[in-house]
Structure 1
Amino acid sequence: MFDIFASYTPQLMTLLCVILFVAGVVRGFAGFGAGMIFMPIATSLIFPPTAAASFLFLDFVIAMPLVVRAVRICDWGTILPAVAASVIFVHAGTWFLANGDVLMLRWIIFFIVTGLLLLLASGWRYHSRPTRPVSFGVGAVAGVLGGISQVSGPPVVAFWLASAKEPMIVRANLIVFFALASVGTIVAYLINGFFTIEVVHLLLPAIPAYGIGLYLGSKGFGKADPKLYRRIAYSLIALAAISSMPALDPWLR
């Protein structure tokens, strides 16, 4: 059970942990983005359901200290409808992950990450006052994307950044949303049998790598220039998406 190299080579495990460390730094600072960095690359190297289940459990457990602080300042009125929709619609995305072709899933994840990155980078925002139906709709989209690829952040990020709330509250909303929505995703993944021994083997070294990154990122929040950080985060996400393209397999893998 504890022989991690029964499932992964040392080189592959090292690479996955480095990616998780970088993803953790981004997640700790911004409250989102880790899945967009980890999943495109990981699904090009290991079985997509294994990558998704590993990251889901890892992020859910390790990010708990961030949640404890965020629940005191988040906006529950906009979070709860989005969480309810995400918990319901995550099953649709999970079904597709369980039954879809691996190569097709890799292309879908690439296009999801690229499209949502372009949405974030464009500066587009939802400018009307958030309502419960709109929050529910955003949560539904996030749930489907999260079930397929663990990349559910950009829809809710674009939605909440449009509000007049302080950046600290927006970040808290994201942290609490992902924590609560993850409960529904864990149930869906359990039903589909995604939590395997390969997931356990990946989690053993990944927990400290991701945890250290998360800690460093959270410490940097409020100190770094937000504009500079966004450029760095978007660049990392773009690099992850491009490097995961199946069309580049002959050169990169």
Structure 2
Amino acid sequence: MIDALLTALDNPALPFIVAAAVVAGAVRGFAGFGAAMIFMPVASVLIDPRLAAATFLVMDEIVALPLAVRAMRICDWRTVLPAVLAGLVTVPMGAAVLASGDTIALRWGISVLVLALLVLLVSGWRYSGRPNVPLSMGVGMTAGFLSGVSQVAGPPVVAFWMSSPLPAHIIRANLIVYFALASIGAFVAFWWNGFFTGEVIQFLIVLTPIYALALFSGTRAFRLAPETAFRRVAYTLVALAAVGSLPVLDGLLR
């Protein structure tokens, strides 16, 4: 373990990856989602994207497990479980479209969809009544498909629950549980493709404690912040997902 730690510390990109992990962890603890949107663009530029993705997946699952366990006690299982199951079904469909479709056209379509969802959220529109199972499955299928196409699965489920009359702590719990369960498919895919290597362990040793402290700080901040602050953070993350996926910005962001 000491050798692995020393190897990771020798990486000149480590300070920037640590900074990304700190911000990502704080956001994850506060909003319940959004860490990948922050960590992955930075880490994927500095190290192999497969290494970055595998490191983040394991790190997030380990650190956020207590958060997910607590969220499972209060989340709305009647809508979360159908969304997760439906999403797992449509991830391969999105991946198939990605493999055979026009990548640029798909990304433009996704960006426009996400921006439309953001406008809907910011407008203050809310649907009346309680979210039901068929609607939950439809949202989950959309999120799963988008995940397969672009890994941008968050905006549909965020828009779904945030446009409901549910209070902020239930919405946050729904998002935490949804992403915790939806990541099972990613674990299987990463294992099948051999992404879990010794290098992943090296970065996990360094980043996991730092990410854990940041997530804890974000969780404490959520308990003290008003509901309006939670919504503003969520809207900002959705906006970043939409803007960051625009093909026109490839030269700047990638």
1:138-195 Cα shifts (integer Å, max 9, x gaps) = 2123224445655422211110112221111111111111111111221122222222
Bigger Cα displacement from structure 2, 163-172 vs 51-60: 51-60
Q: Rate the CA distance shift 1:120–1:145 in 2: closer, same or farther, 3 A.
A: same
Partner in structure 2 of residue 127 of structure 1: 127
Could you tell me whether the CA contact under 8 Å between 2:82 and 2:136 is conserved in 1?
yes
CA-to-aligned-CA distance 1:94-136 (integer Å, 9 cap, x gap):
6789x79xxx79x95x996796367336526662653323212
Amino acid at match of 1:190: W
Within a 5 Å distance, the mapping from 1:59-138 to structure 2 comes to: 59-92=60-93, 116=114, 119-120=117-118, 123=121, 127=127, 129-138=130-139
**1:164 aligns to what SS in structure 2?**
coil
Aligned equivalents of 2:156, 2:244: Cα separation in 1: 23
Aligned residues of 1:91 and 1:188 also touching (Cα < 8 A): no
* TM-score normalised per structure 2: 0.78
* Cα shift at 1:57: 1.6
User: Does the CA contact (< 8 Å) of 1:67 and 1:179 recur in 2?
Assistant: yes
Asked whether 1:13 is paired with 2:22, we answer no
Equivalent residue runs for 1:15-34 within 5 Å: 15-34=16-35
Q: Which amino acid aligns with 1:206?
A: L
3-state SS of the aligned residue for 2:13?
A: helix
Say if 1:168 and 1:239 are closer, same or farther in 2 by CA, change over 3 A: closer
Q: 1:195 corresponds to which residue?
A: 196
> Any gaps of 5 or more consecutive residues in structure 1?
none
Equivalent residue number for residue 179 of structure 1: 180
Aligned partner of 1:40 in structure 2 is: 41
The equivalent of 1:210 in structure 2 is: 211
Give, as a single letter, the amino acid of the residue that structure 2 aligns with 1:43: S
- Stretches of structure 2 that go unaligned for 5 or more consecutive residues are none
Contact 1:94 / 1:188 at 8 angstroms: preserved in 2?
A: no
Contact 1:85–1:136 (8 Å) recurs in 2: yes
Alpha-carbon distance between aligned partners in 2 of 1:41 and 1:222, rounded to the nearest angstrom? 28
Q: Residue 43 and residue 23 in structure 1: after superposition, are their counterparts in 2 closer, same or farther (change >3 A)?
A: same
Max Rg structure: 2
Pairs aligned (count):
244
SS in 2 for 1:127: coil
What is the DSSP-based 3-state SS (H/G/I as helix, E as strand, rest coil) of the residue aligned with 2:224?
coil
How many angstroms apart in 1 are the aligned matches of 2:244 and 2:179? 26
Counterpart of 2:157, as a letter, is V
The CA deviation at 1:137 is 2.3
- 1:213-239 C-alpha deviation (Å, 9 max, x unpaired): 110001111312443455456557767
Percent identity among equivalent residues? Answer: 48
- Quick check: 227-236 or 170-179, which moved more? 227-236
Cα deviation, residue 17, structure 1: 1.4
